[in-house]
Amino acid sequence: MKILKSWLNDWIDIETISTDDISEALESLGFEIESRTDKTPNYKNITVGKVLEIYEHPNADKVRVTKVDVGSKIYEIVCGAWNFDVGAVVPVALPKSEIKDGFKIDKRDIRGVESNGMICSASELDLWDDHAGILKLSDETKLGSDFSKIYNSTDTLWEIGVTPNRGDCMSHLGIARELSNYFNLTLKENSQALKSNIESVIKVNSGKIKACNSYQSIEIENFTLSDSNLNIRYRLSSIGVRVINNVVDYTNYVLHDIGQPLHAFDRDKLFGTISVRFAKDNENLKTLDEQERKLTSEDLIITDNDKPIALAGVMGGYDTEVTDTTTNLLIESAYFDKVSIMKTSRRLNLISDASIRFERGIDFNLQKQGLQRFVNLFENDQEINYSSIIDSSKNGISYDSISFDKNEIEQILGVELDDNFIRNTLIKLQIESEVSDKKIKFESPSWRYDLERPIDLIEELAKHYGFNNFESTLPIGNNLNSTGDYWDKRIYLSEKLSSTNFYEIQTLSFTDSLSNELFTPEKKSVSVINPIDQTQENLRTNLLTSLINTYKFNLESNGKSHRYYEINNVYDDSKHKKFKMIPNQEYSLGLLIPENETVEDRKGKTKTNNINTLANVIKNLFPFSELEHLTRPGFHKNYSYLIKLDNKILGFMGKLSYKIQSELELHDSLYIAQINTENFNFDQLKDFTYKPLSAYPFIKFDLSFSVPNDFQASDLINCIESILSDNENNISIFDNFTNEKTRNLGIRIVTRSYEKTYTETESTEILEMIVKEAESKFKIKLNKKDENAT
C-alpha cells in the first residue's frame, strides 16, 4: 500500500517530523517499508496563467494562437491542444522554464508566429498520464503564482506492507492512528456534518442476511461530471490510482483516506428499493468491465426491484454505471462480510482496492463517515444538492469487553510494562480500557478484528513498546548432547560418502510416471492433482532416475564422470507406517557409481569401477550388512542384490540393466543402490565390541586356489576364520584371476596367537590344516605352495 506524507498530515501534524523518523516508526510498528520516494516537481519555473483570447494561426490548421495573462504580463503562445476555451486557467511554461525530464522551453517560431513558451498538459509536467489535452486549474487560482506551490508538489511517498490481520491500516487514517501513539500526536477530526436539501427517491434494505451488516446510501442531484481538483488528482496519481473524473476520484479518495469503499450508481437507472442478497446459481450480471458474469449462490449481490445492479464489494454493474449524461447519483457505503467477498473476488479473479479492504475486514461503524467525506469533498468543488443518509443497518456486530490479569503481560513478554505506558497507548489507539492494579479490561474498537483475546492486546502493547527495546535472554533446552537418530544417520552417511569421492546432489521431488515405472513398478505413485506441469505430475518412488540424470547431465555438459548420492524422501501410495491419512514416505539414500570415473588428479585420467566397488561402499557404510541375490526390475540379471541388516531389508543395489543403459544412450555401465534409512538405527552401525590386540608376532600365508566360477570368496574366508577363531586374524583376497578355463583365487592370511610366538613347525601345521579343510569342504585345489611363514 502507498501512503503520502502530506496526506497523513491531514490526520496528524507530522509535517515537521523527518521522513527518516517516520520510516523508522512505520517499520517498528510492523509496516514493512518496500520503498520510499522523496517527490519533487519534475519541472522548473511553471507559472499559472489565464487564457484571454484564442485565434486561428495564419499558416497552420492544427494549432491555435492564444493570449495568456500571467499576472504581470500578457504573452502570445501557440498551442496544439483544443480542450480549453477563453477563460481557462492553465499551467504555463514561459521562456527559461523546464518541463518533464529537463526539457527546456524557450521562445520559438512556429510557422511564422513567435510562441513565448507553452501551455502544459499533466503528462508534460510528469503529474499523471493524461492525453486529453492541457491541464485545467481551478478558476480561483491566482494568476502568476508558482505552479509548484498550489498543490503538495514536494512530498514523500512510502510503499508499505500491511499484514493481513490489519485491515484497519489500509488507509491514511489507519496509519495516522498508529503513528499518533508513536509520536504522541493527536488525531484530527476531518468530517463535517451534512445539511441535506432534497428528499431521497430510492429505498434501501440490507436484507436478512448476516453477510451485509450495514447498507447506507446518499443521493446527489444536479452535479456536473468533471475533473476533481488538482490536489486530489495529484494525491491519487501519486499513490498509483488512475484519475478519471470527480465521481470516481472521490470514491477512490475516500477509500484511501479512511478505508471505506464506496460505489456510485446513476440514480436514474435504479428503480424501487436497493437490497442485498446472495445470487441464484447461474444468475447473470454484466459488470463495469462489460463482462457477462455467471453468478453462484456464494456471490453476494446488490439488486433493485428489477435486477442485479452490482457484485457486492467487488465490482459495479454496467447498466447502472455513471456516464457523461448522468445528473443524479446514489452513493453506496456498506459493510460486507469478508469471507463472502473473498470467495467471489478469487473465483472471478477480480481483485480491486475495494475487495481487498472488504476481505481484510473494514470498520463496521465507518459507513456514515464514508458518505460524509464523499459529500464534503464534492461540496468543496461544486454546488450540489443532496439527501440525508438512508441507513439500513442491523447492528449485528459487537465486541464483548475482555478482562485479564496484568501479570500475564510479564509472563508472555518477560518485561513488566508501566501502567502509564499501557494507558497512554490504549488511549491513542482509541481502545476503550480500564487499567487497575491487577487487571486490564478492554473493548475492541469497531475497526479492529484482531483484538479478540488477551494475547492480542499484549501483542499490541509489545509492538508499541518496541520489539527492539526488550532485553534478550538465552534459555538452554534439553541437556542432551545429541541431535537424534534421524539427523545422526544423515550426517554419518554423508560424511562417509563425501570423503570417498561421492558428490551430494539435491534434486526436485517430482517426476513423470515413466521414471517411476523403470525401477519401482511395484509402487503406486502419489500424484499431484494440480501439478506445475506434466513432467512434475508424480512424486518420485525412487531416487535412481534423478541420480542417472545428474550423472548424464554432467558427463555431457562438463565432460566428467563422477559418483553421486542423494538423501531425500521417496513416496508411494501405500499407507504411511505411522500416521493416518497420508501416503508412505521413506527417507532414503540413493547412490550411483559410474564404470569409468574421472579422477581429479593430473596423473591418472579415469579409474575403472565394477560391482565390487559398489559392494565395498555398501559394506563400508553398513559393516554388518549382507547381500542376497534377487533380480529387480531395471537391474542386471546377476548383479542385483537386496541389502540386509539383521535380516531386515535395507534396500537394493546392483548394476543398471544393459537394456536400460542402451535406452538411456549411456556408453558406460552404472552401479546404483537405494537404501531406506528408516530401516536401521544409528546405533546398529556402532553395535560391535573391541577385538583385543595380540602381543605376539604374526605369521602370513599367501595361498592360491583353483576354484569354480560360481565360487564365493566369502565362504572361504569364513571357513578359515572359523579354523583360526582363537586367533587375531586378517584374511583378504589379493587376487582373482579368471579365464575361460579356470579361476584362481589368491587369499592372504595374516594371523597371530594370543598366547605365544609360533614356531616354524607350528606354522606349517596351521597351513596344512587350512589347506586340507578348504580343499575337502569346497572341493577346490591349492595351486602352488607360495607360503611365507615368518
Residues numbered 379-418 forming contacts with other proteins, rule: CB under 8 A: 411-415
Smallest separation, CB 714 to other proteins (Å):
30
Residues 458-487 as x/- pattern, contact with other proteins by CB under 8 A: xx--xx---xx-xxxxxxxxxxxxxxx-xx
Per CB under 8 A, 524 contacts other proteins: no
Record the cell numbers describing residue 750, joined without a space. Answer: 595374516
610: which DSSP letter? -
54-73 residues in contact with other proteins (CB under 8 A) are none
Which of 25, 218 has the CB closer to other proteins?
A: 25
Q: Report how far apart, in Å, the C-alpha atoms of 31 and of each of 17, 22, 23, 339 are.
A: 18, 11, 9, 24
**3-state DSSP assignment of residue 666:** coil
Among 156, 352, 501, 694, contact with other proteins (rule: CB under 8 A): 501
Strand partners, 167: none
Smallest separation, CB 723 to other proteins (Å):
42
Identify which range of 38-46, 424-432, 495-503, 721-729 contacts other proteins by CB under 8 A. Answer: 495-503
Record the cell numbers describing residue 150, joined without a space. Answer: 498550489
Per CB under 8 A, 604 contacts other proteins: no
Per CB under 8 A, 530 contacts other proteins: yes
Among 71, 531, 623, 708, contact with other proteins (rule: CB under 8 A): 531
326-355 residues in contact with other proteins (CB under 8 A) are 339, 342-343, 346
422-461 residues in contact with other proteins (CB under 8 A) are 453, 455-456, 458-459
Per CB under 8 A, 100 contacts other proteins: no
Among 274, 505, 548, 749, contact with other proteins (rule: CB under 8 A): 505
Stated as kind and residue range, the H or E segment containing 258 is: helix 246-258
Among 52, 427, 514, 582, contact with other proteins (rule: CB under 8 A): 582
Which of 329, 497 has the CB closer to other proteins?
A: 497
Which of 271, 587 has the CB closer to other proteins?
A: 587
Smallest separation, CB 31 to other proteins (Å):
9
Per CB under 8 A, 39 contacts other proteins: no
101/125 Cα distance (integer angstroms): 9
Among 398, 420, 557, 725, contact with other proteins (rule: CB under 8 A): 557
Site size with other proteins, rule: CB under 8 A: 90
Per CB under 8 A, 527 contacts other proteins: yes
With cell 483544443, the residue in question is 82
Identify which range of 229-237, 432-440, 552-560, 713-721 contacts other proteins by CB under 8 A. Answer: 552-560
Smallest separation, CB 506 to other proteins (Å):
5
Which of 295, 461 has the CB closer to other proteins?
A: 461
The alpha carbon dihedral of 163, 168, 174, 180 has a sign of negative
Angle between helices 246-258 and 172-182 (to 10 degrees): 30
370/354 Cα distance (integer angstroms): 13
Which of 253, 571 has the CB closer to other proteins?
A: 571
Nearest to residue 772, comparing CAs of 714, 700, 712, 719? Answer: 719
CB under 8 Å to 783, separation ≥6 — which residues?
A: 704, 705, 706, 744
Among 114, 416, 418, 504, contact with other proteins (rule: CB under 8 A): 504
49/68 Cα distance (integer angstroms): 6
Per CB under 8 A, 507 contacts other proteins: yes
Is the distance from CB of 789 to CB of 701 less than 8 angstroms? yes
Nearest to residue 423, comparing CAs of 433, 414, 411? Answer: 433
Per CB under 8 A, 506 contacts other proteins: yes
Strand partners, 49: 90
Which of 356, 366 has the CB closer to other proteins?
A: 356
Exposure class string for 218-238: b at 16+ Cβ within 10 A, else e: bbbbebebebbbbbbbbbbbb
Is the distance from CB of 655 to CB of 671 less than 8 angstroms? yes
Stated as kind and residue range, the H or E segment containing 573 is: strand 563-575
130-189 residues in contact with other proteins (CB under 8 A) are 163-166
Nearest to residue 719, comparing CAs of 761, 789, 644, 771? Answer: 771
Identify which range of 42-50, 103-111, 132-140, 498-506 contacts other proteins by CB under 8 A. Answer: 498-506
Per CB under 8 A, 103 contacts other proteins: no
Among 13, 30, 496, 750, contact with other proteins (rule: CB under 8 A): 30
Smallest separation, CB 135 to other proteins (Å):
39
Identify which range of 314-322, 557-565, 623-631, 747-755 contacts other proteins by CB under 8 A. Answer: 557-565
The pairing of strands 502-504 and 563-575 is parallel
The pairing of strands 538-539 and 510-511 is antiparallel
Which of 102, 484 has the CB closer to other proteins?
A: 484
Which of 95, 583 has the CB closer to other proteins?
A: 583
HEC letters along 122-181: CHHHCCCCCCCCECCECCCCCCCCEHHHCCCCCEEEEEEECCCCCHHHCCHHHHHHHHHH
Per CB under 8 A, 23 contacts other proteins: no
CB under 8 Å to 12, separation ≥6 — which residues?
A: 176, 179, 180, 183, 185, 186, 187, 188
201-260 residues in contact with other proteins (CB under 8 A) are none
Per CB under 8 A, 533 contacts other proteins: yes
Which of 141, 585 has the CB closer to other proteins?
A: 585
787/785 Cα distance (integer angstroms): 6
Per CB under 8 A, 288 contacts other proteins: no
Per CB under 8 A, 554 contacts other proteins: yes
Among 86, 427, 508, 630, contact with other proteins (rule: CB under 8 A): 508
Smallest separation, CB 297 to other proteins (Å):
16
Smallest separation, CB 163 to other proteins (Å):
3
